[in-house]
Amino acid sequence: MALIQVNYLSKALFRTVPVNVIIPSDKISFETMDYLPAPEGGYPTLYLLHGLLGNYTDWVSGTRIQRWAEDAGLAVVMPSGDNSFYVNGQTANNDYGAFIGEELPRVMRQMFPLSQRCEDTFIAGLSMGGFGALRNGMKYAQTFSRIIGLSAAIHFFDPNYESVAGEESAFGSLAEAAQTDKNYHVVLEQLKERVSAGEVAAPEFYLACGTQDSLMGVNRSFRADVEAAGFAVSWDEEDRGHDWDFWDSQIKKVIDWLPLGRAEGGMGSGNVTKDL
């Protein structure tokens, strides 16, 4: 398993940005004792977003994503989103939505043997990153076919919840932002219209939240909204809170849920397996 730190000049953010990338490219065949080739068409790819206060290292340090991605033959791209909620910001050179939904997949596909197909490209995130995955997965449905929100922080357009994380720094006036496609409810309606018009294929959703998490109510509500809009949604909950134990457990379930097929076994840097 190759774990690569990339630093590249982002056009959307107009600065050099760090990205961690997992590429399952260093497996050695038992038969030939040479490196296994990338799958025809490139590796299926998961874009994985961190939460508030985090950065591009969170998922590798907080979960076993590296080992599970290697076992599944899945490439994983983990960018830094600062505290942006992964939407275009209020000032210039902070276009985090375009960064996630358009630029990053294009640049990563230029750098690595990743699949170009929407069907092989997925987006997930936890907490703030869950919001970013849901909003950008729907807005850029031409890029992502599966959308995963884990403990998604989708509370701040709900009047029953207080703003506690400085969301206004990313959204400006929440009342005004609620009328735009920064609001996941608006994007869900837009997605429904685009699918009906044949502009994009219908994505599938995976949503999960801990029963001890204060965000459980809004996540259950969004699940109902997605189902009412006619989209396939898988739901899971565990007796956990808003923490890495839950997200570590869930990211394994997410990988099992993705349409990856069967990865080829071989000798890898983390383990040796003859048959997966």
79: domain CATH number is 3.40.50.1820
Radius of gyration (Cα) for the chain, nearest Å?
Answer: 18
Residue 48 pLDDT grade (very low, low, confident, very high; cuts 50, 70, 90): very high
Instruction: Provide φ and ψ at 19, rounded to 5°.
Output: -145, 130
Give the span between the Cα atoms of 178 and 101, in whole angstroms.
Answer: 20
Q: In 3-state terms, what secondary structure has residue 137?
A: helix
pTM: 0.93
Reported as a single tens digit per residue, the pLDDT across 211-242 is: 999 999 999 999 999 999 999 999 999 999 99
Residues in the chain: 276
pLDDT at 275: 47
Please give the average per-residue pLDDT across 143-156, as a whole number. Answer: 95
Count of H-run helices and E-run strands, the chain: 10, 10
Alpha carbons 206 and 53: distance in angstroms, whole number: 24
Higher pLDDT residue, 137 or 269? 137
Chain-centre distance for alpha carbon 233? 16
Sign for the CA dihedral angle at 115, 116, 118, 122 comes to positive
Distance in angstroms (rounded) separating the CA atoms of residues 67 and 54: 21
The whole-number average pLDDT for the span 3-16 is: 97
C-alpha dihedral over 171, 172, 175, 176, to 10 degrees? -90
Query: What's the pLDDT score for residue 270?
Result: 57
Report CA-CA distances (Å) from 31 to 150, 215, 239, 275.
Answer: 40, 50, 44, 12
Q: Name the token pair of 250.
A: 């869930």
The structural domain count of the chain equals: 1
Domain span at 219: 2-273
For the record, the structure tokens of 195 come out as 């699918």
| Residue 56 near residue 88 (C-beta atoms within 8 A) | no
Question: Quick one: which H or E segment has residue 23?
Answer: strand 15-23
* Cα separation, 195 vs 212, whole angstroms: 35
Residues 176-221: tens digit of each pLDDT: 888 999 999 999 999 999 999 999 999 999 999 999 999 999 999 9
Residues 6+ away with beta carbon under 8 Å from 27? 35, 36, 70, 264, 265, 266, 267, 268
Assess contact for 146 and 206: CB atoms under 8 A.
yes
The stretch 95-116 carries a mean pLDDT of 97
Q: Name the residue with tokens 């807005």.
A: 139
